[in-house]
Chain A
Amino acid sequence: SAVISQKPSRDICQRGTSLTIQCQVDSQVTMMFWYRQQPGQSLTLIATANQGSEATYESGFVIDKFPISRPNLTFSTLTVSNMSPEDSSIYLCSVEDPGANEKLFFGSGTQLSVL
Chain B
Amino acid sequence: SQQGEEDPQALSIQEGENATMNCSYKTSINNLQWYRQNSGRGLVHLILIRSNEREKHSGRLRVTLDTSKKSSSLLITASRAADTASYFCATALSGGYNKLIFGAGTRLAVHP
Q: Measuring CB to CB, which residues of chain A are less than 8 angstroms from any residue of chain B?
A: 4, 6, 31, 33, 35, 37, 41-45, 48, 59, 90, 92, 94, 96-97, 101-109, 111
Contacts and interface: CB of A to CB of B under 8 A. Distances in A.
Given A103-B45, A109-B40, A31 B98 contact: yes
Interface stretch (B12-20, B58-66, B68-76, B101-109): B101-109
B42 to A, nearest CB: 4
Given A42-B105, A43-B88, A59-B1, A106 B100 contact: no
A105 B46 CA distance: 11
B102 A43 contact: yes
Contacts of B31: 102
Question: What's the dominant secondary structure at chain B's contact region?
Answer: strand
A42 B103 contact: yes
A103 B44 CA distance: 10
Contact of A102 (B1, B43, B48): B48
A31 B98 CA distance: 9
B38 to A, nearest CB: 10
- 9 A-B pairs with least C-beta separation: A106-B42, A43-B102, A108-B42, A103-B45, A106-B43, A42-B102, A42-B104, A109-B41, A108-B41
A92 B33 contact: no
Interface of B: 1-2, 31, 33, 35, 40-45, 48, 88, 90, 92, 97-105
A107 B33 contact: no
B98 A96 contact: yes
Contacts of A42: 2, 88, 102-105
17 contacts: A4-B42, A33-B100, A37-B40, A41-B104, A42-B2, A42-B105, A92-B43, A96-B98, A102-B48, A102-B92, A103-B33, A104-B90, A104-B100, A105-B45, A109-B41, A109-B42, A111-B40
